[in-house]
Amino acid sequence: MTRMESARQHIPGLRFRKMHGLGNDFVIIDGRGGAPALTGAALRAISHRHLGVGCDQIALIGDARDAGDADVQVTFYNADGSVSGACGNASRCIARLLLDEAPSRTTVTMRTARGVLPACLTKDGEVSVNMGAPQLEWQDIPLARATDTLNLPIEGSPSATGMGNPHCTFFVPDAGAVDLNSFGPKTEHHPLYPERTNVQVAHIAGPDRIRMRVWERGVGVTLASGSSSCATAVAAARRGLTGRRVQVDLDGGSLIIDWRRDGVWMTGPTAHVYDGILTGEFLGAV
């Protein structure tokens, strides 16, 4: 037995839960009682769809003692190992996990880089989360310089919105006709966005209905994105294209976005796919 093989045998397994919201999928690691140290290489390996578990993002739940006045602390990571300030569908999945742990409860709170996010269970079993007020000033999104956030000086005149992470929303004649695999990366790395950006293409399907597709920074094309749905709904309302409560139809399904006085609420289904253990052999290799 080699020294490396011996070391791997002594690395304990790491339990995780696989969940998704409309196909926007996550590996959720419960670090309450002791959060594991995950390197960028480990995060990328876990996210890999052929060599790891496969997911759009990884969410790490931390102890309540680190959450202040919230129930838990949550940190989100993109598939490329970078930190994501917000993840709406993952927040709803984690809220569902916490609510399932305490069936008598109907509300929970999560402390994230975005702030404390309250969530609740709806009467029909879906989960709503308040993603907070949108960031509409250029320096808060952030953008590289002062500019009109409703009509950016980028071909196509997209809108910029912050939802704890930056977004760039293009309103187009047909969202389905856009080649996101080529369009998304170019916009993600646009110099106007110093921290890169999530990219949405959307068209108005009705007075209160939006068809949207998304390229997520650090991930790529995803079947759905909660924060992107919020950003697109806010941009559409600001432009007078829709009301403040809309249905957003994504490749993986539909979300209800409601921009209220206390923040942008997002409602939709969640799914618990399976529980698993990352082996010591796998973790030792990364």
Pick from 111, 163, 114: which is nearest to 136 by CA? Answer: 163
Residue 144's contacts (CB-CB under 8 Å, 6 or more residues apart) are 191, 192, 193, 194
Tens digits of per-residue pLDDT, 139-190?
999 999 999 999 999 999 999 999 999 999 999 999 999 999 999 999 999 9
Tens digits of per-residue pLDDT, 196-219?
999 999 999 999 999 999 999 999
pLDDT attached to residue 85: 87
The reported pTM is: 0.92
Exposure of 58 in the CB half-sphere (CA atoms within 13 A): 30
CB 92 within 8 A of CB 118: no
Q: From CA 248, how far away is CA 254, in angstroms rounded?
A: 5
CB 57 within 8 A of CB 223: no
Tens digits of per-residue pLDDT, 28-44?
999 998 767 889 999 99
Residue 100's contacts (CB-CB under 8 Å, 6 or more residues apart) are none
Q: From CA 122, how far away is CA 234, in angstroms rounded?
A: 22
44-62: average pLDDT: 96
What is 159-261's CATH number, 3.90.1150.10, 3.10.310.10, 3.40.50.1980, 3.40.50.10380?
A: 3.10.310.10
25 or 65, higher pLDDT: 25
Pick from 199, 193, 217, 272: which is nearest to 81 by CA? Answer: 217
3-116+271-285 CATH fold: Diaminopimelate Epimerase; Chain A, domain 1 (3.10.310)
pLDDT band at 11 (very low <50, low <70, confident <90, very high): low
Q: What percent of the chain has pLDDT over 90?
A: 86
Query: Do the first three CATH levels of 3-116+271-285 and 159-261 match, i.e. the same topology?
Result: yes
pLDDT band at 8 (very low <50, low <70, confident <90, very high): very low
Structural domain spans, the chain: 3-116+271-285, 159-261
Pick from 57, 74, 92: which is nearest to 217 by CA? Answer: 57
Place of tokens 């995950």: 38
